[in-house]
Chain A
Amino acid sequence: MLRVKRSQILLYLLPMLITIAVINLTPIGYTLYLSFTNNTLFNGEYNFVGLTNYSYWFSVANTDLLYVIGNTLLYVVVCIALFLLVGLATALALNNQKIKGLPFWRAALLVPWATPYAITSLIWKFLFNYDFGPINQIGRIFLGPQSGIPWMTDPFWAFVAVVIVNVWLSYPFFTVVILGALQSVPSELGEAANVDGANAWQRFRSVTLPLLLPAITPATILSSITTFQMFGVVYLITAGGPVTSADKPGATSFVMIYIYNKILGDNAANIHYAQIATFAVLIFIILGSVTFLTRSLGDSKESLA
């Protein structure tokens, strides 16, 4: 390690610390403050009410909320597994110098990332339409005019649909991260293993994967967080539906969509800012501690190895 003066360490850290303190921490502080008040849109008050809002959320943590959280976790697990699989496979394929036309393949595979999701989500919604969506229309050419998958009206298929869209949107992120990290795998290492006669899987597991982990781990953690907090894309496609009963959350009502439909957005004239802030704090605490524990466990494993 390099031995330097503390002041110099600080100098290198300073730009990032200032950024984080001013832009990341102040909204968190503000939200925390709001969560202890009684502020709503209609009352406009900022009276201190202690933990009232927190006890509110624990009191309404009924079966709906548990269902929503469980459903969101399932979504996160499925999506992340697919992100990793597709991202890794594409990155490995795109890193293969023997493949011809690499610039074309690389650009083509990153296109989903280049187009604004506000538009592509709506396109997907159309592709999934039961009667006139191209996916079902193409299917009918092969399977007969009566066939069709109820993408947007059946709970199971709607879940599948939003997984597909999310994979489509997010795998390029993993492709880029992994492709970038693959550059840190010296080709000599692979060749050495090759000479040793290790097969492809062995080479991948013992040489490539350990070098990719430092890049994959934070990407996986952050993607899990953003998928857990997913809103825009899913909202544009299903709005949380399909709803099977108006008093129950729909099959794709993930946490943020559930909250939006319940107490934010156009569905609540009197916005309960304090309650929303409290919810944000609770989500932050839960996701934050899971992140922290995962990392700490990861650290201790690293130091053992």
Chain B
Amino acid sequence: MINSQLPILQVMVPLLAASLCAILPFRRLTWLIALAASLAALAISLNLLVLVLNDGPISYALGDWAAPWGIEYRVDALSAFVLVLVSALGSIIMVFAPTSLAREIDADRVFLFHAMYLLNLAGLLGMAVTGDVFNLFVFLEISSLSSYVMIGLGRDRRALTAAFQYLIMGTVGATFYVIGVGMMYMMTGTLNMADLGTRLPEVAATRTVIAAMAFIVVGLGLKLAIVPLHFWLPNAYAYAPTVVSAFLAATATKVALYALLRIVFTVFGGPAMIGLPVDQILLVLAIVAMFGASAVAIYQTDAKRLLAYSSLAQIGYMVLGISFLSATGLTATIIHLFNHALMKGALFLALGCIYLRLGSVQIEKMAGLGRRMPWTMGAFVVGGLSLIGIPLTVGFISKWYLIQAALERGWWLVAALILLSSLLAVIYVWRVVEVAYFQAPSDDMLQLREAPAVMVVPVWVLAGANVYFGVNPQQTIRAAQSAAAALLGGGG
């Protein structure tokens, strides 16, 4: 009985918990609510994943209005995978959050942070669970609006301008997306993704549908921060509270990527159907991101900013996987989507520990930190190695599949570029490691202690996951392969 209601509960639990948090101005209580709601969402998504892997996709008619007239929630292998990823990272970050937030946000605002976090979680989970293109827009805006607020909570006043810049660009992106949806509706008269998938091929050659695809790809590209559309991201990640950077880096861009995959493959049936060279455009942009953003990352003095630029480069790898237009390429994209969330989650949370003790994440101030905070820096190194793609970490699995997909297409040059751009990651990770391990600590760092266990443990859970899923990649690969098959089976 309850099983059949899981898709809606996935969204409703965090949504209701968010409104509860908004009216209860107590820091501890709202934290408990947020943690409980995140764990409940995690339990629901794990249940859904098991159900989907055993019995195939689940369809849920909202208010019992049958699709395509009513809104359909549809959970297949890919959406269940994203749901688990988002709710798992949300839960881990919530365990970490209170100590870190106490340092980075005014105490009387913490309960509002919890409300915003839950709204964001509900929006992201909703985007992954919905089977309706307009419903996706609504959830996109729920998650976006709450993330603007969370970024603006940072103590640095530059957080405000970063949030405003993100608000402008995010809203333009979301509006582009709705314009595209409108054009599709004009041609087909439906908003249901599966229904659109069957009706669009008949009208695929019209200019309206081509324009629709262009609008949607650009709109979601803004949320995803594909390279020429990325200007909001570095400032937003650099000045937001670290918990927020960690959560957004690990989940928000991933869900935007999910939405892009969903629309391009399930709805449009792959770029080739429409006759717009989306794949070639993405290929060029991805390579520019891999090199350009990594090169910029090398010159950053602020570790959070460095990670933000590195995120842009990693988004490049995910987009690169899409541009191969093959099952292996999509598998690589989905594996990296999962793996990058683990890496950036671990790295940003490690920075949260450093900020707690040091009050700064400037790289030059981290001299000798490897000896003062061995656990935190150890996790940072594991995350960094994973970012580079060293064997036995998840990063290696991602790169392995990407290169395999490139060779499958016979694109030797692209495969070489993937390896070359990894070397840039070596440089920027090394910059932090060198300062932390090979420079003598300054005198005022002598009293510096390791971060409390309640923070170090979540960091190591994520760092450990980097190694665990790097040594035992079978589950990820299997889930990613069936997710890729679900995408390609939809119409390509």
Do A and B associate with each other? no
> What residues of chain B have their CB less than 8 Å away from a CB belonging to chain A?
none
